[in-house]
Amino acid sequence: MQLMKNRIVAFYVSKDIINDGTNGRVEWTFKSQAGTYLSNQNANGSWGDVDYANTTSSANGKAWSPYLALDRMQSMAQAFADPNGPYYHNETLLGGIQKGLDYWFTVKPNFNQLVGDRNRQTIKVGKNRAFM
């Protein structure tokens, strides 16, 4: 199991972007922008341009706004796990990821979702955990 995890992490950290193949993306996020995401993060772990209270379903073909926070945390986690990058095991970046996840689970963003959307949210959070 550990070998599989190592291979998956190695694959993803070799990329600047993760294309999860879904329409659950507000905008592209990049591992190379992890420092920017961290510096733009509020002290409580949120981002000011993310509407965590949005309840619009992504079934209408438009991405659900809070996904942007998950995608930024995913890019930050990629950078944290990249042994060739400047943020490899950086404690400040790790703190930003942890604060982002803490905020996420405190405000509990939710929307009128289909089962697939709920699964997508779980997968995005799970990828963050795999990198850490």
21-77: per-residue pLDDT in tens?
A: 665 677 889 999 999 999 999 999 999 999 999 887 666 667 778 889 999 999 999
Q: Is residue 115 predicted with pLDDT exceeding 50?
A: no
* Sequence letter at residue 43: A
Q: Which pLDDT does position 112 carry in this prediction? A: 61
**CA proximity to 105, closest of 50, 58, 46, 47:** 46
- What the chain holds in terms of domains, given with CATH numbers, is 2-131 (1.50.10.100)
**CA proximity to 57, closest of 124, 107, 111:** 111
pLDDT class for 83, splitting at 50, 70, 90?
very high
